[in-house]
Amino acid sequence: MKKFLLIAAVLVFAVISCKSASEKAESKSEASQTVAENTEKQEEEKGAQNETPAPAEENKTEEKAMLPHQTNDENAPVVYFIKEITPEALVKIYDILGWKPEGKTGVKISTGESEKSNHLRPALIKDLIQKINGTIVECNTAYPGNRNTNKAHFEALKQRGYLEIAPFDLLDEEGEMLIPIEGAKHLVKGDYVGTHFKNYGSYLVLSHFKGHQMAGFGGAIKNLSIGFGSGTDVENSGKIYIHSAGQATKGWVTADQLDFLESMAEAAKGVCSAMNGGKNIAFINVLNRLSVDCDCNGNPTEPDMHDIGIVASLDPLAIDQASIDMVWAATDSKSLKERIESRQGLHTLDYAAEIKLGNRNYRLVEIK
């Protein structure tokens, strides 16, 4: 009996020992699996940390897409931009600009030298001009053509349909007047504009941005200077005074290229200063039909780059700088860039900044 009990005890002890060993082995296996899982998870997390998150890449792309003079500085002037070039888009960007004209409002445009020119057509600008009850204003040209005399000028506008959309005022129809330019280096006498200039409380400078045979490009600054300058059908031509860099008001005198460009900036400053220190004047540039030639060319070179859109600002330098930046950013703008560079056109912006016509840096706000 004792022998039987001893055998039974040994068997029970063996069973308990086997069970304990099995539990320990299972526990060790589970622990090993946990360690392996944790290691794999750590490796995944480490790999994820080495990858650049998508939002960061997007932000990096946005930074790269900023134009050279674009800034986030809240003190910089705003340039509004819309891609569409339609009558509705023109009115929309004007409304968002928030500018309120005072008194009688002149809309300074270029009506072009011929139907082949790339000037802004009446159908495009009609709604905007009528919305602000504006009067189309222009001065005679300084070169032989169909807008160099009062009679020819009115006839040209009639033929092109401008007289059907708004009143027209030839600013130098009855002569010229001088407006001062503070600190001028070239145009020391001032800026010769048409005598009707003084009849307006506000001006909207509506410019077709494009290349130019002499200035490299034409935008707000050229429209302010050469555009407002009196023509050759009066005693003293503001246009010749600018082109000659202050040397003459009659005949044609060729000035040093940089002096001519600087004279444009000075004349633009004179016009802005005369309009309540720049408060009563606003600017819109339309970047379409971007030929290397100006609208004063009756047979311009056909554009070889795409249209860009419309920009608007209260700062004449900022709007032209933004227009230039957009042209430079375009992949098909080689011809226009070569035209601008060959005429040292960017010097106009350099000097405009020097004489404090405006600010080259701007905040760009795109309108959808």
Burial of 91 (0-12, 13-18, 19+ CB in 10 A): middle
User: Per-residue pLDDT tens for 311-361?
Assistant: 999 999 999 999 999 999 999 999 999 999 999 999 999 999 999 999 999
User: Per-residue pLDDT tens for 16-74?
Assistant: 344 444 444 444 444 444 434 444 444 444 343 333 333 333 333 234 479 999 999 99
Alpha helices in 68-167 (DSSP H): 87-97, 122-131, 150-160
Q: What is the pLDDT of residue 28?
A: 41
For residue 98, pLDDT over 80 is answered with yes
Half-sphere exposure (Cβ direction) of 363: Cα atoms closer than 13 Å: 11
What is the pTM assigned to this prediction? 0.83
User: Per-residue pLDDT tens for 178-207?
Assistant: 999 999 999 999 999 999 999 999 999 999
Q: Alpha carbon of 170 to those of 54, 78, 189, 240: distances in Å? A: 58, 32, 23, 18
On average, the pLDDT of the chain sits at 87
Q: Backbone phi, then psi, for 217, in 5-degree steps?
A: -150, 160
Query: For 73-366, CATH number?
Result: 3.40.50
Break the chain into its structural domains and give their ranges: 73-366
